[in-house]
Amino acid sequence: MNAILADFHSVAVILITIGAFILFTRARFSLEGSCLIILVILVAGFELFPIEVDGKQFQGIRLLASFGSEAVITIALLLVLAKGVEVCGGFAAIGQFLVNLWRRDAHIALLITLVITAAASAFINNTPLIVMILPVLVGVAHQTNNAPSRILMPVGFATIAGGMTTTIGTSTNLLVAMIAADLGVAQLRMFDFFLPGAFAALISILFLWLVAPRLLPDRRSSSSEGVPRLYLAAIAVSEQGALLDRTLAEARKLLASGLRIERVVRGTVELARLPGLRLRQGDQVHVRGTAAAIRSSQEVFGESVDASNLASPSNQRLVEIVVTQQSPLVNRHISTVAALTPGKMLPVGIHRPGRSRREAIDHEDNLLLKAGDVLLMQGDRSDIRKLAEHPNILVLDRNIHVPRRSRASAATGIMALVVFVAAIGVMPISAAALCGVLAMLASRCLAWDELWSALNVRVILLIVTSLALGSALTVTGADRLVAHLFVVVVEGLPPPIILSGLLLLTALITEIMTNNAVAVIWTPIAISMARELGLPEMPFLLAVLFGANMSFITPIGYQTNLLVFSAGGYRFSDFFRVGIPLQIILWLAVSLILTWLYL
């Protein structure tokens, strides 16, 4: 009877897993709803139809213990650390370096961009990395007359390839490592699979550099929002500013790249922009550039216009507001904006899409706002939250931070120290990351509200659901059942062919289902398969790890694919052009190196 009941549980969990695959690929069902449905079915199922494990009844509520698992906690802590580096402008130096490089030699710049992003994604979650680098690359593409579509997809794929080199490169790697340890396989340390991962990354980078741009068409984004907006801003030269008593020629060298001086006003007089003009305290320098360039120039010039009324600079944010027909700002003068917005918010820039007429922000100029204008406002975080709650004010982006550049080195150093401590084995990555988060908070690199915003509830819920499915497969013996069926099908084939087949199957499934779910479900199956075949477990474990990361064929296969899909103006078929050959090349290359190293 127990054997029949165990078979019933195994088949039921396999059917639930198939149902999870279907739910996760249906756009009409929200991810959160699908996860909740699966968790309820699993927990209620084990409670209503109990099963004995090691002589004790397995309680369904134990599946919810995944919320406190080391894997989930570690992933959450790493997301928080990456957020700390992001809000302190730790990525800004890389972005500026790439801008300068692309202006010199686009072909070599693409190679260096691919290498830098791949290397960075080995230690930092690639989603914030792509978010940071996308506007830079789109802007550079337009400035150098290159199609963004020939750049963005290769860079996005490079971050996936680079993430396959370390255990913290992606959340998928971390999950596979921790599940394998729970199942009796040796704990994967930081660089245990660096060699095959680096080999795969190298082949990917060469393909993405030499071949991919030739396969991709020249596409233009359907929205001009992919192009960084240019703003006009008036910034005062203060007594503490770096430009006090500097000539205009010296000022231009200190300005952020892409920022140009439009006017210099002293009192009520506009001065001629002569190279030898020496700036004095109180001068208003009107500049044109991107939001990021204006932010960085504030450090050079000192405070912005009327900034004496603002709160502490460490608490300041920049936010973009679209002036709509229903907005209280439409047909109002720029001088009235401060009175119509919460707290002490002030306009620091304006963008008028499609208009070449230059109109500087200046309270005395009484510039009239029109529908379609985009205002760049600066203010306290609490004031921005109030602004976003206003029913007739459209906040375009409330997440543009004024980076705490004075703490950029500290944030980057903390992240590097966490990686180093975990790499040399002083403490596990979970403990090192926890210490790193405390250091970020103590050094004021990160505020509490930023910490909470870094925790992606959808990702955490998906991981918990995937872990619950993996536990159910193991407890009921469903993993061994699936592994046995797989072994029966491939019986008589050489081990390298079996390993290669597992890698390909995992890679194809992850194109239609989230990487983490595939990794968690397939990891116990792969280990059971290796044990039944009497082969080493490591190559089968790595086949799942690499296969679950190889999401190149569709834009829905990976979160970074969706980001570049929109920004690059791609079509669904464009991913086939590059993704299919890259998938085939990596499948063959990884199969060969795993066979050579481990079989």
pLDDT in tens, 401-424: 555 566 777 887 888 888 788 777
| Alpha carbons 563 and 568: distance in angstroms, whole number | 9
Percent of the chain surpassing pLDDT 90: 11
CATH 3.30.70.1450 residue ranges in the chain?
Answer: 225-405
Torsion of CA 244, 249, 255, 260, to 10 degrees: 120
Q: pLDDT tens across 291-325, in order?
A: 666 666 665 555 453 333 333 444 556 676 767 65
Are the CB atoms for 539 and 594 separated by under 8 Å? Answer: yes
Q: Of all helices (H) and strands (E), which one includes residue 321?
A: strand 316-322
Per-residue pLDDT, 29: 65
Q: What φ, ψ does residue 374 adopt, rounded to 5°?
A: -120, 115
Per-residue pLDDT, 207: 95
Per-residue pLDDT, 588: 94
Per-residue pLDDT, 223: 38
Residues 6+ apart with CB under 8 A from 210: none
Mean pLDDT, the chain, whole residue set: 75
Paired tokens of 141:
């593409």
| Nearest of 397, 375, 406, 457 to residue 87 by alpha carbon | 406
In this prediction, residue 30 has a pLDDT band, given cuts at 50, 70 and 90, of low
Looking from the CA of 161 toward its CB, the CA atoms found within 13 Å total 31
Categorise residue 369: left if φ over 0, alpha if ψ from -120 to 50, beta otherwise.
Answer: beta
Per-residue pLDDT, 356: 39
Reported pTM: 0.61
Alpha-carbon separation of residue 219 from 104, 134, 156, 262, 570 (angstroms): 23, 16, 16, 33, 7
Q: Which amino acid is at 41?
A: I
Q: Of all helices (H) and strands (E), which one includes residue 289?
A: strand 284-289
Q: pLDDT tens across 85-115, in order?
A: 777 766 666 666 776 777 778 788 889 989 9
Per-residue pLDDT, 476: 80
Radius of gyration of the chain (CA): 27
Residue 337 clears pLDDT 80, i.e. is over it = no
Per-residue pLDDT, 587: 94
Alpha-carbon separation of residue 203 from 114, 324, 446, 598 (angstroms): 12, 49, 37, 20
Packing angle of the helix pair 2-24, 31-48 (nearest 10 deg): 170
Per-residue pLDDT, 567: 61
Residue 446 clears pLDDT 60, i.e. is over it = yes
Residues 6+ apart with CB under 8 A from 535: 495, 599
Q: pLDDT tens across 220-268, in order?
A: 544 334 334 456 677 777 776 777 788 888 877 777 655 767 778 887 7
Per-residue pLDDT, 218: 77
Alpha-carbon separation of residue 112 from 14, 115, 204, 373, 578 (angstroms): 45, 5, 14, 37, 20
Average pLDDT over residues 485-501: 85
| Alpha carbons 24 and 557: distance in angstroms, whole number | 11
Q: pLDDT tens across 367-385, in order?
A: 777 766 667 776 777 777 7
Paired tokens of 170:
């992606």
Per-residue pLDDT, 158: 93
DSSP line for 353-417:
TT--------GGG-PBP-TT-EEEEEEEHHHHHHHHT-TT-EEEEEEEE---GGGHHHHHHHHHH
Are the CB atoms for 547 and 507 separated by under 8 Å? Answer: yes
| Nearest of 318, 311, 262, 310 to residue 292 by alpha carbon | 318
Q: What φ, ψ does residue 222 adopt, rounded to 5°?
A: -70, -10
Q: Which amino acid is at 260?
A: R
Under CATH, to which class is 225-405 assigned? Answer: alpha beta
Residue 450 clears pLDDT 60, i.e. is over it = yes
Per-residue pLDDT, 154: 92
| Nearest of 225, 226, 222 to residue 571 by alpha carbon | 222
Torsion of CA 99, 248, 378, 450, to 10 degrees: 40
| Alpha carbons 429 and 75: distance in angstroms, whole number | 10
Percent of the chain surpassing pLDDT 70: 72
| Alpha carbons 79 and 171: distance in angstroms, whole number | 10
Q: pLDDT tens across 505-546, in order?
A: 888 877 766 777 788 778 888 888 888 888 898 999 999 999
Residues 6+ apart with CB under 8 A from 588: none
